[in-house]
């Protein structure tokens, strides 16, 4: 006689690394440290923001994702390279029209 298999409870205790758990707090600390070490906006862009965004683009492209993040204080859209300049111009025009630029 065989004993029925018990359901795996590991799903209930799954790590939250990808959802704001311990792994993400380590990443946040690392990014903040790198950002704080940048003396100006250009260095911040070159050493942290651009490499981070390029990583997002690479991973999204490999998986066929279209990434468009809308937030209360910022927005992030990942587009093909030939769309970057027109999108930037649209945003600049909107900011100028709204007297925010």
Across all residues in the chain, what is the average pLDDT? 77
pLDDT tens digits, 17-36: 445 566 789 999 999 999 99
Cα first-last separation, the chain:
75
Give the Å distances, CA to CA, from 12 to 9, 19, 23, 61, 96.
Answer: 6, 14, 18, 31, 49
Answer whether residue 87 is part of any domain. Answer: yes
Q: Which of 71, 75, 99 is nearest to 88 (CA)?
A: 75
Instruction: Kindly state whether residues 61 and 78 are assigned to the same domain.
Output: no
Instruction: Kindly state whether residues 82 and 98 are assigned to the same domain.
Output: yes
Sequence-separated contacts (24+) of 11-18 with Cβ below 8 Å: none
User: Does position 62 have pLDDT exceeding 60, yes or no?
Assistant: yes
Reported confidence tier of residue 69, pLDDT bands at 50, 70, 90: confident
Query: What range defines the domain where residue 30 resides?
Result: 26-65
Q: What is the pTM of this model?
A: 0.53
Instruction: Kindly state whether residues 81 and 100 are assigned to the same domain.
Output: yes
Q: What are phi and psi of 26, to 5 degrees?
A: -65, -40
For residue 45, the SS3 value is helix
User: Does position 68 have pLDDT exceeding 80, yes or no?
Assistant: no
């Amino acid at each position: 006689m065989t004993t029925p298999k018990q359901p795996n409870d590991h799903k209930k205790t799954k790590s939250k690394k990808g959802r704001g758990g311990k792994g993400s707090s380590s990443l946040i600390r690392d990014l903040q440290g790198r950002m704080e070490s940048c003396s100006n906006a250009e260095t911040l862009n070159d050493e942290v923001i651009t490499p981070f965004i390029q990583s997002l683009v690479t991973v999204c492209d490999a998986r066929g994702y279209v990434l468009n993040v809308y937030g209360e204080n910022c927005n992030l859209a990942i587009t093909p390279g030939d769309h970057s300049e027109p999108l930037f111009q649209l945003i600049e025009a909107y900011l100028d029209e709204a007297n925010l630029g």
